């Protein structure tokens, strides 16, 4: 096979790219993620399954084969974004034909083909300066602040880019949980418990179960959104208590703030929630 034909096959198939160019054998679920072209993908993954490694390969494949791409990697903290970026540079070093880099620093690189990979720590202000991302990957999405996620989404509307949220669950809260449970049918959801990861043995999991206890074990290894320990009310209990059949205490036209507006402190943030204008 000529070098050109090999490049074309790697461009068309990120799994072949991982196998041939990075000497890396993706697990079955990693192959599914790498080959997916769904607009939004949610990966609910056990600890140590291989999320960050997959994120780095996806980022590199996009940047190498789609000139001019902006790839944003978002993590909850600076330490994690540095760690993820290190995985990208390690993968780059595996390449026989390394791309020429025009700019390279601790958290971002720009290739000669004008593609950029930027690894951002999780604060909403860091994302504001970027636009036109064709791929955004949130690693440990359950711990990325919701404000950051809400700042990212409008960017995709314009660029028509893809967003991949990868995470181990972290309680029944936040955007990762709400997208997983209520995000609609257009999202691709992939669940990888530790028992599906060929590198995690049953004996190790048995030990972990004993050491961590049921609550942590379910969250860390079985992809379960377990109730947060600090909640006063259980999530399922609250959801089961919701009913459209129960009439509100005040009819829509007799809300107390309507009758006695001056006794209520109604701010600009509260006003839209009341669904009325002053
Ligand atoms: N397909 C694979 N083949 C061999 N090793 C792999 C594969 N995928 C991941 N690994 C290895 O498994 C380990 C964990 O991978 P990685 O850090 O990507 O997992 P993670 O899900 O991000 O973990 P964490 O939950 O700690 O963030 C790493 O040493 C990585 O090199
Ligand atoms: Mg990781």
pLDDT digits (tens, 9 = 90+) for 151-184: 988 888 888 899 999 999 999 999 999 999 999 9
| Overall average pLDDT of the 221-241 stretch | 73
Strand partners, 164: 41, 137
CATH 3.40.50.300 for the 3-233 domain, yes or no? yes
Query: In the chain, pLDDT over 90 holds for what percent of residues?
Result: 68
What is the per-residue pLDDT for 262?
47
- Rounded Cα distance, 196 and 50, in Å: 11
Please report the beta strands in 107-255, taking only residues with DSSP state E, as ranges in sequence order: 108-111, 116-121, 135-139, 162-167, 188-192
Mean pLDDT (the chain, rounded): 86
The pLDDT-based confidence of 236 (bands split at 50, 70, 90) is low
**Which residues are CB-neighbours of 272 under 8 A, at least 6 positions away?**
none
Rounded to 5°, angle at Cα 164 from 29 and 51:
45
Residue-wise pLDDT for 74-93, tens only, equals 999 999 999 999 999 999 99
CA of 213 to the centre of ligand 1 (A): 23
CA of 71 to the centre of ligand 1 (A): 21
76 touches ligand 1 (CB under 6 Å): no
3-state secondary structure of 7: helix
Report the candidate in 23, 39, 180, 9 with the shortest Cα–Cα distance to residue 95. 23
Residue-wise pLDDT for 8-49, tens only, equals 999 999 999 999 999 999 999 999 999 999 999 999 999 999
In what helix (H) or strand (E) does residue 15 lie, and over which residues does it extend? Answer: helix 14-16
How far, CA to CA in Å, does 198 sit from each of 48, 94, 210, 232?
A: 11, 23, 21, 38
Q: What is the pairing mode between strands 116-121 and 135-139?
A: unpaired
CA of 45 to the centre of ligand 2 (A): 10
DSSP 278: -
49 touches ligand 1 (CB under 6 Å): yes
Q: Could you state, in order of their start, the residue ranges of all structural domains in the chain?
A: 3-233, 247-278
């Amino acid at each position: 096979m000529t070098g050109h034909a090999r490049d074309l096959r790697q461009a068309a198939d990120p799994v072949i790219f991982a196998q041939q160019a990075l000497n890396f054998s993706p697990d079955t679920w990693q192959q599914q993620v790498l080959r997916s072209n769904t607009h939004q993908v949610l990966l609910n993954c056990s600890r140590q399954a291989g999320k960050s490694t997959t994120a780095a390969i996806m980022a590199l494949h996009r940047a190498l084969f789609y000139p001019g791409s902006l790839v944003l990697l978002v993590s909850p903290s600076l330490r994690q974004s540095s760690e993820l970026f290190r995985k990208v540079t390690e993968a780059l070093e595996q390449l026989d034909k390394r791309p020429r880099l025009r700019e390279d620093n601790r958290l971002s690189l720009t290739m000669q083909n004008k593609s950029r990979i930027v690894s951002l720590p999780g604060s909403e202000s860091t994302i504001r300066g970027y636009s036109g991302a064709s791929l955004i990957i949130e690693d440990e999405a359950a711990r990325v602040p919701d404000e950051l996620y809400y700042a990212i989404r409008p960017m995709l509307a314009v660029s028509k880019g893809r967003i991949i949220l990868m995470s181990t669950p972290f309680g029944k809260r936040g955007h990762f949980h709400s997208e997983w449970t209520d995000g609609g049918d257009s999202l691709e959801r992939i669940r990888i418990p530790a028992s599906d990861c060929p590198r995690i043995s049953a004996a190790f999991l048995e030990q972990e179960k004993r050491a961590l206890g049921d609550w942590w074990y379910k969250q860390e290894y079985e992809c379960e959104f377990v109730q947060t320990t600090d909640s006063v009310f259980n999530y399922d209990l609250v959801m089961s208590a919701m009913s459209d059949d129960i009439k509100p205490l005040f009819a829509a036209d007799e809300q107390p703030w309507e009758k006695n507006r001056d006794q209520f402190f109604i701010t600009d943030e509260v006003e839209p929630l009341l669904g009325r204008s002053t």
